[in-house]
């Protein structure tokens, strides 16, 4: 009896002691850091707090999606940086997915040359540090573009120059109505889809869902153009002479070279990892599945759409989510080429001006944590939707 | 003879020669056009001569696409690059692009490039100015490390390579001591040799270190430290003790959720605030701590994957032999788990090496940073392309070699189950 009791207590003690030591150690480190921070901040005459976010920032940002100038607050500057980070991440994710899928499928091509080219694409771009690729595009490749006066013109609508890519600007009237109509179209498509699924499951009828959805997506917004007073005009960039040798473009939207270089490098680098995921996913679908599908009389497209892709996607999505997360985090390398993302604007300029290291670094890190967690939550939801539903 | 008949074994004698002729003609046209800037088909209208190689090649490929021709090389060719019209087009495009891109590349890299000289003025050709790399090579390798002391870095790396080289040829028993020396003695010996300050060696502050050697030093130390920390974190995350488990989870997820660059920012500007006033920790050490902790979190997740993949029976078997927690993990679980995740470990280490250029954030300059410095030198403006191509090549060779080595290791250690 006594032995047994002792044993239990021993086990409990054995469990308790390391935990207690860990927590104590962690706490003492935190307390040590906190006291030091307090003393240091006291010495420098600054107090912890987030009030500085409302102060006037008084620095300019080269590229902003919302209205911003030096008279706006640090909070606004943070928002500008955050939006720029999101912008480059979304662009990067979009192109990385396209390139990644194309390269991944090409690696499995029965065409030897295509497969080899895709393989070497992956081997080359995966094994060069991303930051070097960004530097290469920004300092070497894009600097070789012509000056504004001899910009590469695409039908005189948009111009590619060393100072960036000038594209037409969309000028909307009644944009809200258009936006609502697009949302309405998506809702309609959702109902059409569920109706089609019902029809298929109950009566075995196949409806041309894709073409109906496409038609809805085009027709409903089109109606707003015709009857509800929505209109869209373009403002084209026009070359303008500033002085005898300096030219620039007026009007339109300028996509700055920093953004182009960053988006290029991010998407080409991340695409190599996505390509590997896609390849693994397609290889992961057993040959028997394809043969079984063929033997029940599905044609090639149906096999791909109904049998291979749903199973492959299940393998592809989780690691690809990770790559999307990596791309978002890697977009912070923007600071190296002065693309005004959250790190450069906030953890760089704003920190330099205010000297509030602890607050600013914490906000920046928390922002990235939130971004990471929200992307991974969205992907978990999608993943669950795609997972095998066992009856 | 019916000329429009489908290519088959019957008309192989006429179709294959014609087809091969057309295909070679199309390649020849592109080749001559690319290399000698002469348009063979120039006598034709411009649009037609532009597309002619494609049309010729396409028709040629169609003609030689004969199933079960009985000629082995033809069958292999058809199967690999010419299985249908779409594949034939892809093949043509790929080959055209390769042929077209060879001359400009060749010109830039070698033919028009400059190799001799010691200043920018010696670069007269249109191609690359490799003089830039030659002149700055020393800086790219050693950073701002004093010229007279560079033998110390060389010696350190020579010892490293010699020990690693010799360890391949000695018996298993001696090998153990070699590895122990490499892991526990050499890093500190090497760092002492490079930083100096005692044994009559002149002290070289870490701000002067740089170039490729700094890349190696940081990678080596980060790998050395992040591996054990990662393993401990992975074990902690799978621990049955809640406090340890959740602290490990929090630690891992915190590092994995933020970009390395913010961690480096933190080590540069925020970390000093947490230390008592007047304490100064060397920049390099702060950076090393940041990179190590950051990569350790990733390493932990990789190792955890291996731990989870092991069948439960392994744990039970170890326990039934009376092994304690540490002995079980050290002797039974980890050796198997780590072997399972060699590709993951290799990827993490590769990511670590590829992340080293980020130390520019705190003002340390390894290879990429030194190139940034060199290309802004007023005497060497406009050399970005050469510099980054060179750095890209160096990093590519390192990373490619690492990934190849890990693949070999995986094969060598794989045990059939």
pLDDT in tens, B296-315: 999 998 998 888 888 888 88
**Is the CB of residue B295 less than 8 Å away from at least one CB of chain A?**
no
**pLDDT over 80 (residue A8):** no
| Average pLDDT in chain A | 84
Cβ separation of B244 and A110 shorter than 8 Å?
no
Q: Which of A148-157, A195-204, B294-303 has the highest mean pLDDT?
A: B294-303
Largest CA distance in chain B: 97
Which residue in A140, A335, A365 is closest to B384 by CB distance? A140
CA distance B267 to B289: 8
Model pLDDT for residues A86-124, shown as the tens digit of each residue: 999 999 999 999 999 999 988 988 888 899 999 999 999
End-to-end CA distance of chain B: 61
Band (A1; pLDDT cuts 50, 70, 90): very low
Residues of A in contact with B371 (CB under 8 A): 135
Cβ separation of B244 and A22 shorter than 8 Å?
yes
Model pLDDT for residues B4-39, shown as the tens digit of each residue: 667 777 777 777 888 888 888 888 888 888 777 777
- Tokens read off for A75: 């909070």
What local confidence, expressed as pLDDT, does residue B229 receive?
Answer: 93
Cβ separation of B94 and A131 shorter than 8 Å?
no
Cβ separation of A23 and B243 shorter than 8 Å?
yes
Identify the residue among A39, A132, A325 best suited for mutation to test binding to B, counting B beta carbons within 10 A and taking the highest: A132
Phi-psi region of B290 (alpha: psi -120 to 50; beta: other; left: phi over 0): alpha
Strand partners, A165: A160, A255
Question: CA dihedral defined by A252, A253, A254, A259, rounded to 10 degrees?
Answer: -160
Dihedral of alpha carbons A7, A12, A18, A24, sign = negative
**Is the CB of residue B357 less than 8 Å away from at least one CB of chain A?**
yes
Residues of A in contact with B259 (CB under 8 A): 329-333, 343, 368
CA distance B158 to B169: 17
Q: Which of A211-225, A268-282, A305-319 has the highest mean pLDDT?
A: A268-282
Residue A278: its H or E element: helix A257-284
Coil/strand/helix, residue B199: coil
Which residue in B94, B384, B400 is closest to A113 by CB distance? B94
Q: A74-168+236-386 architecture in CATH?
A: Orthogonal Bundle (1.10)
CA distance B290 to B309: 29
- Tokens read off for A374: 């929200």
Where does B230-347 show beta strands of DSSP type E? none
CA distance B234 to B245: 9
Helices vs strands, H then E, count in chain B: 18, 2
What local confidence, expressed as pLDDT, does residue A196 receive?
Answer: 87
Q: What residues contact residue B56 under an 8 Å CB cut-off, 6+ apart?
A: B22, B23, B25, B26, B29
Identify the residue among A14, A20, A22, A111 best suited for mutation to test binding to B, counting B beta carbons within 10 A and taking the highest: A111
Find, in chain B, the residue whose alpha carbon is nearest to that of A123: B400
Phi/psi at A153 (5° precision) = -105, 140
Residue pointed to by tokens 């030091």: A36
Q: Considering the entire predicted model, what is its pTM?
A: 0.86
Model pLDDT for residues A330-359, shown as the tens digit of each residue: 999 988 888 888 888 888 888 888 878 888
Q: Which residue has the higher pLDDT, B67 or A33?
A: A33
Q: How many CB pairs under 8 A join A and B?
A: 154
Domain ranges of chain B: 12-111, 130-145+204-413
Identify the residue among B236, B259, B268 best suited for mutation to test binding to A, counting A beta carbons within 10 A and taking the highest: B259
**Is the CB of residue B259 less than 8 Å away from at least one CB of chain A?**
yes
**Is the CB of residue B269 less than 8 Å away from at least one CB of chain A?**
yes
List B residues 323-352 in contact with A (Cβ-Cβ < 8 A).
350
**Is the CB of residue B401 less than 8 Å away from at least one CB of chain A?**
no
Cβ separation of B90 and A114 shorter than 8 Å?
yes
What local confidence, expressed as pLDDT, does residue B415 receive?
Answer: 66
**Is the CB of residue B361 less than 8 Å away from at least one CB of chain A?**
yes
| Average pLDDT in chain B | 83
What local confidence, expressed as pLDDT, does residue B210 receive?
Answer: 82
Query: What is the β-pairing status of strands A247-250 and A238-241?
Result: antiparallel
Cross-sheet strand order for the sheet of A253-255: A152-154, A158-161, A164-167, A253-255
What local confidence, expressed as pLDDT, does residue A165 receive?
Answer: 84
Q: What residues contact residue B208 under an 8 Å CB cut-off, 6+ apart?
A: B143, B144, B145, B146
Helices vs strands, H then E, count in chain A: 13, 8
**pLDDT over 70 (residue A9):** no
DSSP secondary structure, B151-196, as one string = HHHHHHHHHHHHHHHHHTTS-HHHHHHHHHIIIIIHHHHHHHHHH-
**Is the CB of residue B87 less than 8 Å away from at least one CB of chain A?**
yes
Cβ separation of B400 and A136 shorter than 8 Å?
no
**pLDDT over 80 (residue B238):** yes
**pLDDT over 80 (residue A157):** no
Q: How many Cα atoms occupy the beta-carbon half-sphere of B333 within 13 Å?
A: 28
Band (B1; pLDDT cuts 50, 70, 90): very low
Phi/psi at B68 (5° precision) = 50, 50
Cβ separation of B269 and A361 shorter than 8 Å?
yes
Average pLDDT over residues B210-225: 88
Which residue in A112, A347, A358 is closest to B81 by CB distance? A112
Cβ separation of A347 and B242 shorter than 8 Å?
no
**Is the CB of residue B121 less than 8 Å away from at least one CB of chain A?**
no
Q: How far is A158 from chain B (nearest CA, A)?
A: 25
Model pLDDT for residues B347-392, shown as the tens digit of each residue: 889 989 998 988 888 888 888 888 888 888 888 887 888 888 999 9
Which residue in A135, A347, A364 is closest to B388 by CB distance? A135
* Percentage of residues in chain A having pLDDT higher than 90: 19
What local confidence, expressed as pLDDT, does residue B4 receive?
Answer: 63
The DSSP output letter for A157 is T
- Tokens read off for B327: 């002995």
Neighbours of A153 (CB within 10 A): 14
Residues of B in contact with A365 (CB under 8 A): 257-258, 262, 266
Cβ separation of A37 and B273 shorter than 8 Å?
yes
Which residue in A19, A131, A133 is closest to B244 by CB distance? A19
CA distance A333 to A343: 8
Burial (CB < 10 A; 0-12, 13-18, 19+), residue A368, is buried
Residues of A in contact with B270 (CB under 8 A): 357-358, 361
Query: What is the β-pairing status of strands A231-235 and A238-241?
Result: unpaired
Dihedral of alpha carbons B30, B32, B35, B36, sign = negative
What local confidence, expressed as pLDDT, does residue B5 receive?
Answer: 67
Phi/psi at A251 (5° precision) = 80, 175
Q: How many Cα atoms occupy the beta-carbon half-sphere of A260 within 13 Å?
A: 21
Q: How far is A374 from chain B (nearest CA, A)?
A: 11
Q: What residues contact residue A55 under an 8 Å CB cut-off, 6+ apart?
A: A73, A74, A354
Query: What is the β-pairing status of strands A238-241 and A253-255?
Result: unpaired
CA distance B373 to B387: 10
CA distance B166 to B160: 10
Residue A171: its H or E element: strand A169-173
Coil/strand/helix, residue A169: strand
Q: Smallest Cα–Cα separation from A109: which of A269, A350, A282? A: A282
**pLDDT over 90 (residue A275):** yes
- Tokens read off for A347: 């953890």
CA distances, A261 to each of A132, A137, A337, B105 (Å): 11, 5, 9, 21
Question: CA dihedral defined by B314, B319, B325, B328, rounded to 10 degrees?
Answer: -50
Domain ranges of chain A: 2-48, 74-168+236-386
Q: Smallest Cα–Cα separation from B260: which of B221, B226, B291? A: B291
Q: Which residue has the higher pLDDT, A390 or B67?
A: B67
Residues of A in contact with B256 (CB under 8 A): 372
End-to-end CA distance of chain A: 50
Cβ separation of A22 and B350 shorter than 8 Å?
no
Q: How far is B203 from chain A (nearest CA, A)?
A: 31
Q: Which of A51-65, B203-217, B299-313 has the highest mean pLDDT?
A: B299-313
Q: B130-145+204-413 architecture in CATH?
A: Orthogonal Bundle (1.10)
Residues of A in contact with B95 (CB under 8 A): 113
ipTM for the complex?
0.87
Helices B46-64 and B12-36: crossing angle in degrees, nearest 10, is 140
**pLDDT over 90 (residue B157):** no
What local confidence, expressed as pLDDT, does residue A7 receive?
Answer: 56
**Is the CB of residue B89 less than 8 Å away from at least one CB of chain A?**
no
């Amino acid at each position: 009896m006594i032995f047994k009791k002792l044993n239990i207590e021993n086990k409990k003690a054995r469990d308790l002691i390391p935990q207690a030591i860990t927590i104590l150690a962690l706490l003492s480190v935190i307390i040590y850091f906190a006291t030091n921070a307090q003393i240091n901040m006291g010495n420098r005459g600054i107090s912890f707090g987030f009030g500085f976010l409302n102060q006037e920032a008084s620095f300019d940002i080269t590229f902003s999606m919302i209205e911003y100038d030096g008279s706006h607050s640090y909070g606004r500057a943070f928002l500008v940086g955050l939006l720029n980070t999101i912008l480059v991440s979304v662009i990067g994710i979009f192109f990385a997915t396209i390139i990644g899928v194309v390269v991944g499928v090409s690696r499995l091509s029965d065409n030897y040359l295509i497969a080899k080219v895709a393989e070497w694409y992956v081997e080359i771009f995966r094994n060069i540090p991303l930051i070097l690729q960004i530097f290469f595009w920004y300092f070497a490749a894009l600097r070789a573009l012509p000056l504004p006066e001899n910009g590469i013109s695409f039908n005189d609508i948009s111009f590619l120059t060393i100072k960036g890519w000038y594209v037409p600007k969309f000028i909307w009237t009644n944009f809200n109505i258009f936006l609502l109509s697009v949302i309405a179209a998506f809702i309609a498509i959702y109902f059409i889809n569920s109706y089609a699924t019902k029809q298929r499951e109950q009566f075995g009828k196949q409806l041309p869902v894709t073409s109906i959805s496409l038609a809805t997506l085009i027709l409903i917004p089109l109606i707003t153009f015709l009857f509800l007073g929505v209109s869209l005009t373009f403002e084209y960039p026009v070359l303008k002479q500033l002085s005898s040798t300096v030219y620039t473009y007026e009007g339109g939207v300028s996509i700055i070279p920093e953004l182009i270089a960053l988006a290029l490098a991010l998407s080409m680098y991340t695409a190599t990892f996505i390509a590997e995921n896609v390849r693994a996913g397609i290889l992961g679908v057993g040959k028997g599945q394809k043969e079984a599908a063929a033997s029940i009389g599905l044609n090639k497209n149906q096999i791909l759409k109904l049998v291979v892709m749903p199973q492959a996607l299940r393998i592809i999505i989780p690691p690809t989510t990770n790559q999307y997360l990596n791309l978002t985090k890697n977009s912070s390398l923007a600071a190296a080429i002065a693309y005004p993302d959250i790190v450069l604007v906030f953890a760089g300029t704003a920190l330099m001006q205010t000297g509030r290291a602890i607050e600013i670094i914490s906000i920046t890190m928390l922002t990235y944590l939130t971004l990471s967690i929200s992307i991974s939550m969205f992907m978990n939801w999608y993943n669950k939707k795609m997972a095998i539903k066992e009856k | 003879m019916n000329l429009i008949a489908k290519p088959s074994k019957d008309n192989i004698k006429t179709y294959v020669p014609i087809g091969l002729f057309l295909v070679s003609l199309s390649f020849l046209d592109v080749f001559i056009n690319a290399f000698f800037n002469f348009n063979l088909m120039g006598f034709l209208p411009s649009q037609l001569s532009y597309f002619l190689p494609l049309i010729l090649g396409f028709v040629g490929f169609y003609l030689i696409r004969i199933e079960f021709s009985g000629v082995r090389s033809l069958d292999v060719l058809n199967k690999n690059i010419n299985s249908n019209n779409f594949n034939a087009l892809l093949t043509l495009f790929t080959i055209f692009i390769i042929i077209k891109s060879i001359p400009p590349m060749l010109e830039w890299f070698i033919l028009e490039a400059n190799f001799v000289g010691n200043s920018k003025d010696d670069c007269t050709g249109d191609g690359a100015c490799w003089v830039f790399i030659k002149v700055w090579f020393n800086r790219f390798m050693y950073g701002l490390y004093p010229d007279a002391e560079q033998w110390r870095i060389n010696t350190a790396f020579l010892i490293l390579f010699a020990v690693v080289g010799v360890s391949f040829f000695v018996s298993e028993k001696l090998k153990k001591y070699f590895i122990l020396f490499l892991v526990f003695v050499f890093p500190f010996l090497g760092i002492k040799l490079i930083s100096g300050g005692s044994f009559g060696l002149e002290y070289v502050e870490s701000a002067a270190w740089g170039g490729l050697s700094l890349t190696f030093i940081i990678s080596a130390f980060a790998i050395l430290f992040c591996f054990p920390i990662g393993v401990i974190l992975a074990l902690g995350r799978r621990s049955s003790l809640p406090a340890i488990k959740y602290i490990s989870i929090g630690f891992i997820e915190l590092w994995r959720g933020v970009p390395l660059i913010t961690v480096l920012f933190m080590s540069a500007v925020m970390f000093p605030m947490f230390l008592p006033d007047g304490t100064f920790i060397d920049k390099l050490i702060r950076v090393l701590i940041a990179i190590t902790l950051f990569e350790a979190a990733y390493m932990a997740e990789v190792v955890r994957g291996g731990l989870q993949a092991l069948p439960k029976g392994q744990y039970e078997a170890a326990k039934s032999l009376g092994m304690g927690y540490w002995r079980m993990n050290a002797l039974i679980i980890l050796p198997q788990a780590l072997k399972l995740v060699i590709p993951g470990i290799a990827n993490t280490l590769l990511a670590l090496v590829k992340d080293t250029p980020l130390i520019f954030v705190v003002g340390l300059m390894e290879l990429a940073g030194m190139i940034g410095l060199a290309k802004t030198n007023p005497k060497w403006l406009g050399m970005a392309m050469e510099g980054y191509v060179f750095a890209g090549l160096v990093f590519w060779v390192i990373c490619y070699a690492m990934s190849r080595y890990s693949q070999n290791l995986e094969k060598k250690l794989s045990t059939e189950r």
